[in-house]
Amino acid sequence: MASSSLKAWLVLAWVSEAWLDEMPYSILSAHELERAARYFNEIDLTTLVLGRARNKEYSRWGFASYCSEVHGKNRPALPRLFEEEHNALFANLGR
């Protein structure tokens, strides 16, 4: 269910509220994108994104928390995708 502020924005933008159901989406922060990308190889993208978007409770959660709660149980820790790049960027920090 859309919040009243979102509904007001949709009216101002002349966008149908039906789009929320027809085209659900998620906004990911940079650190959540890395976590989500680890799951994309293991879980169908539609299941991963729509499962969160269409569940009233989970739609309020951060994406990383949702992935861990719903899809992370009984699953080994997934490797960090950008570990080498991260280390190279911050190798000289604090020197």
pLDDT-derived band at 2, boundaries 50, 70, 90: low
pLDDT per residue over 38-58, tens digit each?
Answer: 777 777 777 877 888 788 888
Domain for residue 14, yes or no?
Answer: no
Tell me the pTM.
Answer: 0.48
With CA atoms as reference, report the closest residue to 48 among 56, 57, 58.
58
| 24-32 mean pLDDT | 67
Residue 79 DSSP one-character state: P
Give the domain extent around 66: 25-90
pLDDT at residue 25 in the model: 62
Domain for residue 82, yes or no?
Answer: yes
- Amino acid in position 62: G
- State how many domains the chain has: 1
